[in-house]
Amino acid sequence: MARTPVITAGPEEDRSRDAALRPKFLREVIGQTEVARRLAIAVNAAKKLKEPLGHILFDGPPGLGKTTFATVLPNELGTSLQMTSGPALSKPADMLPFLTNLEEGSILFIDEIHRMPRVVEEFLYPAMEDFRIDIVLGEGLNARTISMNLKHFTLIGATTRSGMLSGPMRDRFRMHEHLEFYSVDELSRIVRVNAAKLQTKIADAAAMELAQRCRGTPRIANARLAWVRTYAASETDGDITLEVARAALQMLNVDREGLDKQDRRYLETLIDVFAGGPTGVEAIAATMNLTTDTLSDEVEPYLLREQFVIRTPRGRVATERAFQLLGKKIPRKTAADGEPALFD
């Protein structure tokens, strides 16, 4: 069989496509209904009370809309937005340009906020609580602290790991919103709306097919729609039919469950190398030559949600569904192995 190259968009391409397709207002946001409703109320109240919005923390796996909500809110409030990310803030001084550029009621968005060092986090506490920062000038005996007042702003934090955020940081957010994976119906609406934005005709069945095969994630739906559209333009008249969508997804090595090569490698490693588990995520990551963070943030959440894998106190265990997907024989562990029977 001919080998198909893995076709993926680079991060830059991903980012510009995401920005172009991103909803601009809350009413354009599809799915996450309860989150959107609570935010609409918070926005409405902030406008009526003429107060800045309280600080908001979004958490959930990548590509589910954390940045989207953060960019929609300033549009709703008619205010400005500054964006940065945890890894870019290595020391308190890195925060200064953002804090001094604030306007009354404006929004500061910090992506991957769990990756911000503790010193920066502590520097932010008075900023979040009292709209004030303490700056230390000089060193040693000559050191003195000056306080600076800030404009009343809203901090929006996004994290794929709310568990890694310190308690005091978490407590300083007034709203905590958890984003969940999307339903197939919501994703097919997203695919249809975005195909229209890209001026591409897509059959309802094709939109449904893409929706079923994008790991419950709008960003993946967008990336796969982009590829299917490219394929349609090159190989057919440009319209996306069900056949075209299927052929294009097959070239991407996306299976009928929507899992990609990386997902299947994870399951293969767990099953072939670790006999289905239980095993620690670190061992799987080391065998796959990936970081534990990549596995726990990007690969595992969907596999856990779809129960291809379960978490146990002794590590990850592949389920019957995973064995079936890969066409592997399901082992029958007996009490004699000293292990509880995995599948009865």
| Site residues (vs ligand ADP, CB under 6 A) | 18, 21-23, 29-32, 62-68, 158, 190, 218-219, 222
66 is known as an active-site residue: yes
Alpha helix segments (H runs only) across 148-280: 167-171, 184-197, 204-212, 218-235, 242-251, 261-268
Residue (138 or 163) nearer to ligand ADP, CB = 163
50 is known as an active-site residue: no
Judging by beta carbons within 10 Å of its beta carbon (0-12, 13-18, 19+), is residue 198 exposed, middle or buried?
Answer: middle
Q: Which residue is nearest to ligand ADP (CB)?
A: 65
In the complex, least distance from residue 179 CB atom to ligand ADP, rounded to whole angstroms: 6
Q: Compute φ and ψ for 339, nearest 5 degrees.
A: -120, 150
In the complex, least distance from residue 103 CB atom to ligand ADP, rounded to whole angstroms: 23
In the complex, least distance from residue 283 CB atom to ligand ADP, rounded to whole angstroms: 27
Pairing mode of beta strands 154-159, 175-178: unpaired
Residue (63 or 86) nearer to ligand ADP, CB = 63
In the complex, least distance from residue 137 CB atom to ligand ADP, rounded to whole angstroms: 37
Rounded to whole angstroms, the Cα distance separating 315 from 273 reads 14
Residue (160 or 269) nearer to ligand ADP, CB = 160
Which residue in 17, 59, 67, 213 is the catalytic one?
Answer: 67
In three-state secondary structure terms, 314 is: coil
In the complex, least distance from residue 73 CB atom to ligand ADP, rounded to whole angstroms: 12
Closest C-alpha to 284, from 297, 274, 294, 293:
274
Residue (63 or 276) nearer to ligand ADP, CB = 63
Residue (186 or 306) nearer to ligand ADP, CB = 186
Q: What is the chain's alpha carbon radius of gyration, rounded to the nearest angstrom?
A: 23
79 is known as an active-site residue: no
In the complex, least distance from residue 234 CB atom to ligand ADP, rounded to whole angstroms: 23
Residue (64 or 303) nearer to ligand ADP, CB = 64
Which residue in 68, 71, 84, 160 is the catalytic one?
Answer: 160
In the complex, least distance from residue 142 CB atom to ligand ADP, rounded to whole angstroms: 44
Residues 6+ apart with CB under 8 A from 154: 52, 53, 54, 55, 56, 73, 105, 106, 107, 108
Which residue in 17, 66, 172, 215 is the catalytic one?
Answer: 66
Q: What number of CA atoms fall less than 13 Å from residue 181's CA on the CB side?
A: 19
Q: Provide the terminal-to-terminal Cα distance of the chain, rounded to the nearest Å.
A: 37
Which residue in 172, 213, 219, 224 is the catalytic one?
Answer: 219
Token reading at 238 = 């440009």
CB atoms within 10 A of CB 80: 14
Rounded to whole angstroms, the Cα distance separating 195 from 188 reads 10
Rounded to whole angstroms, the Cα distance separating 137 from 119 reads 16
CB atoms within 10 A of CB 19: 10
111 is known as an active-site residue: yes
Residue (220 or 281) nearer to ligand ADP, CB = 220
197 is known as an active-site residue: no
Return the active site residues. Answer: 66-67, 111, 160, 219
